[in-house]
């Protein structure tokens, strides 16, 4: 069986690749488990100073695996909520994570991007929040992090309509810092990672911890509210409306 997450390490830089291309790298319980384990292992490696997170083409991540959700929603829900107390798709880590968005980042895929420390994308990237379309509430802080990234009005429009944000719009909105040709994406991500890794690693981690602590002070209450809302909704609604669960996420 092909591993749902691939990890390569080149000196101080690690690349983590979501590796379910036939499913557009949809978030299965196995992928979520392996992603969390991979990032925790890399964070414990003193030789790794930056991580690049990307997807196997053609997508970055299409969100929750709706097929698994329909077949065994309890298992996938458990996988999503297993780390929900951290308001993140993975346990707390100290290593900077750069999202290299190579294609559609939809719903849970968008949440992965928002939980990275910075993001860049290729022209093939599009972004959408389709939680309202599929009848699931976000469990990883999207309703707090998305307006922080792109502003209140644009965030609410994305969430309430499910409309897509193009790569150029994502750059203009501040969701990503760089927009590059697709074939240059990983090179640019690795170049940014190398610059980070070339700095004092203890200072990088301390500065990143400061950024995160300040953000936590600003949004901690909101994250708790979002978490309670997601738990209450998803606990009762994940087993309802098969037709809603069965809609394919487009992009």
Of the listed ranges 78-82, 93-97, 193-197, the least confidently predicted one is 78-82
Residue at 208 is within a domain: no
CB-based burial, 101-134: b 16+ in 10 Å, e otherwise: bbbbbbbbbbbbbbbbeebbbbebbbbbbbbeeb
Q: Give the domain range for residue 44.
A: 5-185
Residue at 68 is within a domain: yes
Query: Which CATH number belongs to the domain containing residue 147 in this structure?
Result: 3.90.226.10
Residue at 213 is within a domain: no
The dihedrals phi and psi of 28, each to the nearest 5 degrees, come to -90, 170
**Residues 126, 139: Cα–Cα separation, whole Å:** 21
pLDDT at 90 over 50: yes
Helices 142-150 and 152-161 pack at an angle, to 10 degrees, of: 130
**Better-scored residue on pLDDT, 244 or 161:** 161
Residue at 50 is within a domain: yes
Work out the percent of the chain whose per-residue pLDDT is above 70.
86
What confidence tier does 189 reach under pLDDT thresholds 50, 70, 90?
very high
Q: Which of 127, 123, 120, 125 is nearest to 103 (CA)?
A: 125
Max mean pLDDT range (73-77, 142-146, 175-179, 246-250): 175-179
How many angstroms separate the most distant Cα atoms in the chain?
Answer: 52
Residue at 207 is within a domain: no
State pLDDT tens for residues 105-138: 999 999 999 999 999 999 999 999 999 998 888 8
**Residues 146, 7: Cα–Cα separation, whole Å:** 27
Residue at 12 is within a domain: yes
Residue at 33 is within a domain: yes
Pairing of strands 50-55, 13-18: parallel
Q: What per-residue confidence (pLDDT) applies to 240?
A: 37
* pTM metric for this prediction: 0.88
**Better-scored residue on pLDDT, 139 or 98:** 98
Task: Count how many domains the chain has.
Answer: 1
Residue at 152 is within a domain: yes
Q: What is the mean pLDDT of the chain?
A: 88
């Amino acid at each position: 069986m092909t591993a749902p997450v691939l990890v390569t390490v080149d000196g101080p830089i690690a690349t983590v690749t979501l590796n379910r291309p036939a499913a557009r790298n949809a978030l299965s319980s196995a992928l979520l488990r392996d992603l969390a384990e991979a990032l925790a292992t890399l964070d414990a490696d003193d030789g790794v100073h930056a991580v690049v997170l990307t997807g196997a083409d053609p997508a970055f991540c299409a969100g929750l695996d709706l097929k698994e959700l329909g077949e065994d929603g309890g298992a996938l829900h458990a996988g999503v909520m297993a780390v929900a107390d951290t308001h993140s798709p993975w346990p707390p880590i100290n290593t900077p994570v750069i999202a290299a968005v190579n294609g559609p980042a939809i719903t849970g895929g968008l949440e992965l991007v928002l939980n990275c420390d910075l993001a860049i994308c290729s022209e093939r990237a599009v972004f959408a929040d389709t939680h309202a379309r599929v009848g699931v509430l976000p469990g990883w802080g999207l309703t707090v992090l998305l307006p922080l990234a792109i502003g209140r009005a644009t965030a609410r429009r994305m969430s309430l309509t499910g409309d897509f944000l193009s790569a150029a719009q994502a750059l203009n909105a501040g969701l990503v810092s760089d927009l590059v040709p697709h074939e240059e994406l990983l090179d640019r991500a690795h170049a940014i990672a190398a610059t980070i890794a070339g700095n004092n690693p203890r200072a990088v981690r301390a500065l990143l911890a400061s950024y995160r602590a300040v953000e936590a002070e600003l949004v901690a209450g909101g994250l708790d509210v979002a978490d309670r809302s997601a738990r209450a909704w998803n606990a009762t609604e994940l087993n309802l409306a098969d037709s809603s669960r069965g809609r394919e996420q487009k992009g």
